[in-house]
């Protein structure tokens, strides 16, 4: 149905009439001229009709302008908002080690961050009803996207993040502390952080275990993911040798963070394993919130405003400056 957001604007409709009526009489009284006969000064009927038509069109334009000022809007039927109730923050390690090419993506060699982006992008796409935020961390931790229902923006921020933009080292503790700060004040049973890293905490001001204790006090549940292959072939002068590129991964600390906060620790050694882990996280029972209903509203003010402008423009073109000529008062 059509509603007016500011119906009180209709009180302005009689304003031109009141201004005309309340003006001093000397301003309304036309000049008088004494002549022997009024015949030469009589206004012809067509001219009088034009004056009346211009006055009616002016009132119509004014009425349309008042209608636009009252903000007409179309209100649709109420619709249920999807709301599983989770406030989900994703913390992604983009330190220098994430550029290591020890995994595959679509059967092609790829660096770790490219594989993470592909998996988490699909994970975010399935988050219908959740508010999702994104933290990127390296030497420093940054809130790239606050908690929002705008999943497309969060996905774009993730895909556009380059390796090393937050510094080459890893500040896991700072990332956890930042997440706790952003989740503070949200429903206590819906605060979730999923943190992915391929290294150990070697930067930042906060120890990861201290940050985990803070998270536990705030009721933030943290799921941690350690990512990186455990075997990588490196060609050399004496042949190919196999090394473990994940020696720097601090699994005990990641597992402790998850344990203290009531979450789970997962170890992903390839892209498919990482995808399975995020499927498991996806299946976690969401916290319920009260259902919310929304009535879609579409503004309609531009229609009466456009018609008012068209009427005024037409009056200016047809009648020129004398929109409402008046008959001069003559006394014989």
What is the distance between the alpha carbons of residues 172 and 181, in angstroms, rounded to a whole number? 14
* Residue with token string 């008042």: 66
* Residue with token string 């497309």: 152
22 vs 43, higher pLDDT: 22
pLDDT in tens, 176-209: 999 999 988 777 667 899 999 999 999 999 999 9
180 vs 46, higher pLDDT: 180
Q: How confident is the model at residue 107 (pLDDT cuts 50, 70, 90)?
A: confident
What is the distance between the alpha carbons of residues 141 and 171, in angstroms, rounded to a whole number? 7
Res. 256: pLDDT tops 90: yes
**Which pTM does this prediction carry?**
0.63
pLDDT in tens, 295-319: 778 888 889 889 989 888 888 877 6
213 vs 57, higher pLDDT: 213
Average pLDDT over residues 43-54: 67
Cα–chain-centroid distance for residue 124?
A: 16
Q: Top-level CATH class of 81-282?
A: alpha beta
φ/ψ of residue 87, rounded to 5: -105, 105
Where are the chain's structural domains? 81-282
For residue 324, what pLDDT is reported?
46
What is the distance between the alpha carbons of residues 307 and 279, in angstroms, rounded to a whole number? 55
Res. 286: pLDDT tops 60: no
Res. 40: pLDDT tops 70: no
Average pLDDT over residues 131-151: 93
Contacts of 87 by beta carbon, 8 Å cutoff, 6+ apart:
130, 131, 133, 147, 183, 186, 187, 190, 191, 192
Average pLDDT over residues 209-230: 93
* Residue with token string 């503004």: 299
For residue 197, what pLDDT is reported?
94
How high does pLDDT run on average in the chain?
A: 83
pLDDT in tens, 321-331: 554 444 444 44
């Amino acid at each position: 149905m059509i509603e007016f957001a500011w119906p009180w604007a209709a009180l302005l409709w009689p304003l031109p009439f009141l201004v005309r009526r309340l003006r001093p009489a000397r301003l309304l009284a036309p000049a008088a001229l004494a002549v022997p006969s009024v015949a030469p000064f009589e206004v012809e009927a067509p001219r009088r009709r034009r004056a009346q038509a211009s006055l009616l069109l002016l009132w119509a334009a004014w009425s349309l302008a008042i209608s636009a000022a009252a903000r007409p809007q179309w209100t649709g039927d109420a619709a249920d908002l999807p709301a599983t109730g989770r406030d989900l923050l994703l913390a992604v390690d983009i330190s220098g080690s994430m550029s290591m090419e020890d995994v595959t993506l679509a059967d092609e060699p790829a660096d770790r961050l490219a594989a993470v982006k592909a998996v988490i992008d699909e994970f975010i796409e399935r988050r219908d009803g959740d508010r999702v935020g994104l933290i990127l961390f390296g030497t420093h931790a940054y809130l790239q996207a606050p908690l929002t229902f705008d999943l497309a923006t969060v996905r774009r921020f993730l895909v556009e993040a380059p390796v090393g933009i937050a510094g080459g080292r890893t500040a896991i503790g700072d990332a956890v502390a930042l997440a706790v700060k952003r989740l503070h004040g949200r429903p206590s049973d819906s605060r979730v952080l999923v943190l992915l890293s391929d290294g150990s905490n070697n930067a930042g001001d906060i120890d990861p275990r201290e940050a985990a204790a803070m998270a536990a006090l705030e009721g933030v549940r943290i799921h941690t993911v350690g990512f990186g292959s455990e075997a990588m072939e490196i060609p050399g002068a004496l042949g190919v040798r196999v090394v473990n590129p994940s020696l720097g991964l601090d699994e005990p600390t990641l597992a402790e963070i998850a344990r203290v906060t009531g979450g789970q620790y997962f170890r992903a050694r390839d892209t498919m394993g990482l995808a399975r882990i995020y499927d498991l996280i996806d299946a976690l029972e969401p916290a319920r919130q009260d259902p919310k209903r929304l009535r879609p509203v579409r503004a309609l003010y531009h229609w009466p405003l456009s018609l008012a402008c068209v009427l005024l423009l037409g009056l200016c073109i047809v009648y020129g400056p004398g929109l409402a000529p008046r008959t001069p008062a003559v006394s014989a």
